[in-house]
Structure 1
Amino acid sequence: MKIIELPDDERPREKLMARGAWFLSDAEVLAVLLGSGRSGRNAVETACVWLRNSGGLRELLEAPRGTHAIGTATWCRLHAAVELGRRCLNHHVDGTTDTPLTTPEMASRFFKSQLAGYPFEIFACLFLDNRHRIVSFEKMFSGTVAGASVHPREVVRRCVELNAAAVIFVHNHPSGQPEPSAADQAITARLRESLDLIEVRVLDHFIVGDGTPISMARRGML
């Protein structure tokens, strides 16, 4: 059955306009982005097949280009949509004077939205003023699936440029295992020592993986 043959309240686009995107299933969201179906299936049926074959939405979006019969244009469209969401969330944080990240739980959700799903490691910094209001959130270093090279000198330089008084670090583990490694603890200690020299406080270091991000401060590792 074609999408146009479905009742109005079952068509993804109409449902989105009437009730909002949050009412759509994963398959319906994908169907809106697809616009049309593939191989004799409508867009919703095509999305359901892709989700079933890949094992879920996250697995679908993390799959290499060319898998699950997704063409290049569609693959680019899906990844652009994910990045658009990340940048929209970042826009609400970057440059604001009233931080919305008032609790570790809120910070944890924001960090997961920004770094989860990347197939390589990214190290980011949340720069704060002396009242712990957000100055900027920046993804500063990226690397491979095994790690990213973090340069304390660059973090110090950026703190000075932004006149930051405190900073929270965050990086992802592409493996999905968020437990802090010995290397994570070592670079945190190096960064803290470097920032102590310019009187910038390190408040926390979050590790993003599967599930809830881990706070090293809560683990007593800072």
Structure 2
Amino acid sequence: MNATTADTLPYSRLRDMAVTERPQERLQRSGPTALSDSELLAMLLRSGTQGHDVLAVADKLLATAGSLSDLLSWTQNDFLRLRGIGKVKALQLVTVMELARRVLAASGSTTPQLTTPAEIANYCRPHTLGLAVEKFWVLCLNRKNRLLRKIEVTSGTATATLVHPREVFRAAIKEAASAVVCVHNHPSGDPAPSAADVRITRQLREAANIVEIDLLDHVVVGTPAADPIGLGFYSFRDAGVL
């Protein structure tokens, strides 16, 4: 067999497997925990294309992304860049990732107590996954630091002025909040604050004193992988700015 012929043959891993060892049969027999990450992705993809066995496509997808959680930030175009994934499969995968984000966002208590930067970041991170722009939220809290409401105040780009203090405290006053936490994301994943982040935090601190609503913290949410110190968030309270 020459090299040209070998290169055009479809991958045969799935076809050559014993029936009892194929992902679908093991899923039915032992449940989803019996399958590897690649096999679970293969179950979503269902079939490959000419020259691309479905398990090979799933392996490549996982290797390119780095992990299942990294796929949460992928767009349709990201999926389409992989050979063996067409428009329909890309849209199916985007849909599954959006469902996963919504499940993560809804999995916590509807009235969590938010007292530490880590708790704040963990609560907000599902809402930041996959975002290509910066968004700014105000978390309105009661006297026991339990969440009354999370409000998206603005959405924009990294080069735009993201928020004005009046927008933050207008929302807080409307909700009769005793305190607020401000949160915004960095799409790059690195939560290190910019000069603009520091400037708006100081403005928010001054406005909080005027309206007599406690500004407990301003947290920048990124990802641990992109954070030089591995936390995945930055707290202005811990940094001594508040």
TM-score interval (norm. to shorter)? 0.7 to 0.9
1:78 corresponds, among 87, 90, 93, to 93
Segments of structure 1 that go 5 or more residues without pairing to the other structure are none
Which of 21, 38, 63 is the matching residue for 2:49?
38
Give the structure-2-normalised TM-score.
0.72
The aligned residue for residue 62 of structure 1 is: 74
Name the structure 2 match of 1:219: 239
**Contact 1:120 1:147 (C-alpha < 8 Å) held by counterparts:** no
1:78-119 deviation per Cα after TM superposition (whole angstroms, max 9, x unaligned)? 33333323333333558x34x154543333223233214322
SS at match of 2:219: strand
For the structure 1 residues 64 and 41, does the alpha-carbon distance in structure 2 shift closer, same or farther, using more than 3 Å as the test?
closer
Pick the aligned partner of 2:197 from 162, 168, 184.
184
Q: Is the 8 A contact 1:121 1:148 kept in 2?
A: no
Return 102-111 or 187-196, whichever deviates more.
102-111
Q: Contact conserved, 1:62 with 1:119, CA < 8 A, in 2?
A: no
Is 1:159 aligned with 2:172? yes
> What's the CA shift for 1:49?
1.6
| Higher Cα Rg, which structure | 2
CA change 1:51–1:199 in 2 (3 A) is same
Alignment-derived partner of residue 52 in structure 1: 63
Q: CA deviation at 1:3?
A: 7.6
What are the within-5 Å matches in structure 2 for residues 10-29 of structure 1?
11=23, 15=27, 18=30, 25-29=36-40
What SS does the aligned partner of 2:211 have? coil
Distance in 2 between the 1:49 and 1:114 partners?
27
Worse overlay, 211-220 or 42-51: 42-51
The answer (yes or no) to whether the contact 1:178–1:208 under 8 Å persists in 2 is yes
- Matched to 2:92, the amino acid is R
Counterpart CA distance in 2 for 1:197 and 1:17 is: 64
The RMSD of aligned alpha carbons is 3.3
Asked whether the 8 Å contact 1:3–1:11 carries over to 2, the reply is: no
Aligned pair count? Answer: 219
- Provide, for residues 164-189 of structure 1, a one-character-per-residue CA deviation record: whole Å limited to 9, x for no partner: 11111121222232111111011112
| Larger displacement relative to structure 2 (161-170 or 108-117) | 108-117
Instruction: Assess, with a 3 A threshold, how the Cα gap between structure 1 residues 32 and 161 changes in structure 2: closer, same or farther.
Output: farther
Q: Provide the identity percentage.
A: 35
Deviates more, 1:190-199 or 1:176-185: 190-199
Secondary structure of 1:149 counterpart: coil
How many angstroms apart in 2 are the aligned matches of 1:26 and 1:35?
Answer: 14
CA distance in 1, matches of 2:115, 2:16: 45
Query: CA 1:71–1:201 in 2, change beyond 3 Å: closer, same or farther?
Result: farther
1:2 to 3, 14, 20: 14
1:129 is the counterpart of 2:142: yes
**Closer, same or farther in 2 for the Cα pair 1:80/1:220, shift >3 Å?**
farther
* Contact 1:122/1:142 (<8 A) preserved: yes
TM-aligned CA deviation for residue 13 of structure 1: 8.5
CA 54–82 in structure 1, closer or farther in 2 if over 3 Å, else same: closer
Aligned-partner Cα distance in 1 for 2:137–2:159: 16
